[in-house]
Chain A
């Protein structure tokens, strides 16, 4: 142990930059006092963008460091890009919201940055220990931001619920990890892969360990039946935080899910496919059916995200390079259309109060046609109507499923999206055909306008230039199977 070679830091450079700038911004915030939230927010966005650049650059080729605990590759770069995009946009969108609600504090961007660090570690995890630490770093920051509006009982309740259930899920995950360690004697993914592929038929203990870890991760992606927290937390948390939950955390968790199942346990595809198929089917059905009864748009989005995770999991169940590519494309498009939808929801303010009912959207097409058009685009995309991007994301997934002869899964997916289309299109109907209510507060902040414009363009015109998303997704998926 005395001969100690320092580990290469380059692979973790983006994480190091992000965590150091988070601490720096914390200091700036503390010394500048309460009024510094806008400055810190902008700096945080800057830091996230710089980190994004670094992550893409560092992830060009596979590198392993910290004695095999940490890995970067094109897959990690792709998912980190999505995570960091989501985080940066969350901070951008949140600035006005927190100011309007009198809870603008510099800790929010700092916590988002630290949570993003956790997510990046999750994406790059190459060891059960790294996996757990990244997950906890992310979750702890999330518990705090969920109850960030501490004077609101709903927000506090959201944070507490997420905390208690998250702790339970972490416990299950740890239990699973200990089983895996107990039955294989290692926590390292690469070593696990060797152990799994060499040892003939897998022992029941290993499978059950795998199941427990998968359950812990299923909680994080809010797959049914580990989704129960989602609607309550989405509804209670401050809206920008909900957007963060709906976007960035999903990216990180699904990335971790993919890496954990494909890398060490790739040979056990036939075993873990059953869990994923179950989670996927249950999520798709519940996501589309339960959303119909909702009247609050944030709850609706919660069920919508559950449903979307169900579709994404189809690609994981396929477990081939093309399936994973489907998941990655799906998540990237999900990111854009979801960010756009949340930007619209953040615009829904009447007389300084958030208006969260679906009925509040009535006649929006006549009072604010631009906003209504944007939301209509996102809703069509979520429903998977061509030619929006949402159609192609589903197409890639279903094609991969059919190629892998998972026809039943594809059929259930198509049926579920038909049911799901009902509630997405209902929103469009409410906006375009119902009698208008008073217009929402104006002006819409420049940050929100920018987010709306960019996301709408990406969602609508993906068909013309899919390569910037599909190309890297292809490379990322290939990098996972290349080793």
Chain B
């Protein structure tokens, strides 16, 4: 129990610290790397709560795909972050003030949080169906395809929209681009593509 508590605070502290660094790091590549660190710590927190599936998803999807994509984009684009950040200091005092007020208020709210009596036992307890404990993944799957089928399908439509959007906004048919036409390739016969030419020494070849 004590180890879990220590781990919880360690993960949390590192996560918050790397969050701060994401915003404040001078080098954008460092920012992205700190972001990845924050993801890892969040995954650790999930594991502590017994949500190992979510933890793995976080690592695989966010770290493995999203953050790496970020990294590529940041490295490939020559964005002058220093210039973008030039207004930062000017707005820092008032920004910090607003942020601080908000933080204080939210802490105040969490002060009033009462845990429901049943939560402590429900936390991290394996689900039981007919005496057999259900894995995290299986339990989620059961829910997603039944109780949350509507939400799941809607999320699918959202992804479709994202796909259409990406294509609409970026795909361009440039004139003169060479493309592979598989049908044309397969339809080619020997007669169309190969010609036997007799070459005489010292004379030019016809049609070349």
Contact = CB atoms under 8 A, between A and B. Distances in A.
Contact of B109 (A66, A147, A148, A204): A204
B151 A69 contact: yes
28 contacts: A1-B142, A1-B143, A1-B146, A4-B146, A7-B149, A7-B150, A12-B150, A19-B157, A26-B164, A67-B147, A70-B150, A105-B168, A111-B161, A111-B164, A114-B161, A121-B154, A129-B151, A130-B154, A133-B151, A133-B154, A137-B158, A140-B161, A140-B165, A141-B161, A144-B161, A147-B169, A182-B113, A205-B113
Interface string A200-214: 000111001000000
Given A1-B129, A69-B150, A129-B148, A144 B109 contact: no
A105 B164 CA distance: 12
A472 B160 CA distance: 35
B165 A205 contact: no
Contacts of B147: 67
Going nearest first, the 5 A-B pairs with the smallest beta carbon separation are A144-B165, A66-B150, A1-B142, A133-B154, A4-B146
A114 B149 CA distance: 18
Given A147-B169, A208-B105, 6 more contacts: A2-B142, A66-B149, A110-B164, A136-B158, A140-B165, A208-B109
Interface in B146-190: 146-151, 154-155, 157-158, 160-162, 164-165, 167-169
A67 B143 CA distance: 11
A29 B196 CA distance: 45
A185 interface: yes
A131 B133 CA distance: 33
A150 B169 contact: yes
Contact of B158 (A66, A129, A133, A208): A133
A26 B165 CA distance: 12
B168 A137 contact: no
A179 interface: yes
Contacts of A137: 154, 157-158, 161
Q: Is the interface of B mostly helix, strand, loop or mixed?
A: helix
Nearest to A12: B150
Interface string A124-153: 000001100110110011011001101000
Nearest to B119: A185
B154 A205 contact: no
Given A1-B143, A140-B158, A111 B168 contact: yes
Contacts of A183: 113
Nearest to B150: A66
A109 B11 CA distance: 47
A365 to B, nearest CB: 40
A290 B137 CA distance: 54
Contacts of B125: none
Nearest to A205: B109
A107 interface: yes
Interface in A166-209: 179, 182-183, 185, 203-205, 208
Contacts of B160: 23, 114
A110 B149 CA distance: 23
A432 B148 CA distance: 58
B110 interface: yes
Contacts of A159: 169
Nearest to A70: B150
Interface of B: 105-106, 108-110, 112-113, 116, 129, 139, 142-143, 146-151, 154-155, 157-158, 160-162, 164-165, 167-169
B201 to A, nearest CB: 52
A203 B109 CA distance: 9
B108 to A, nearest CB: 8
Contact of A144 (B105, B143, B168): B168
Interface-central residue, B106, B110, B169, by most chain A CB under 10 Å:
B169
Interface-central residue, B113, B147, B154, by most chain A CB under 10 Å:
B154
Contacts of A455: none
Contacts of B168: 105, 107, 111, 144, 148, 150
B160 to A, nearest CB: 7
A130 B150 contact: yes
B63 to A, nearest CB: 21
A159 B169 CA distance: 11
Interface in A28-72: 66-67, 69-70
B134 to A, nearest CB: 8
A81 interface: no
A141 B166 CA distance: 11
Contacts of A66: 149-150
A118 B154 CA distance: 8
B158 to A, nearest CB: 5
A117 interface: yes
A107 B164 CA distance: 8
A159 B158 CA distance: 17
A330 B108 CA distance: 40
Contacts of B108: 204
A130 B105 CA distance: 28
Interface-central residue, B112, B161, B164, B168, by most chain A CB under 10 Å:
B161
B119 to A, nearest CB: 9
Contacts of B167: 107
A140 B143 contact: no
Contacts of B165: 111, 140-141, 143-144
A144 B104 CA distance: 37
A2 B113 contact: no
B6 to A, nearest CB: 25
Contacts of A185: 116
A203 B113 CA distance: 9
Contacts of B148: 67, 69, 129
B31 to A, nearest CB: 17
A460 to B, nearest CB: 38
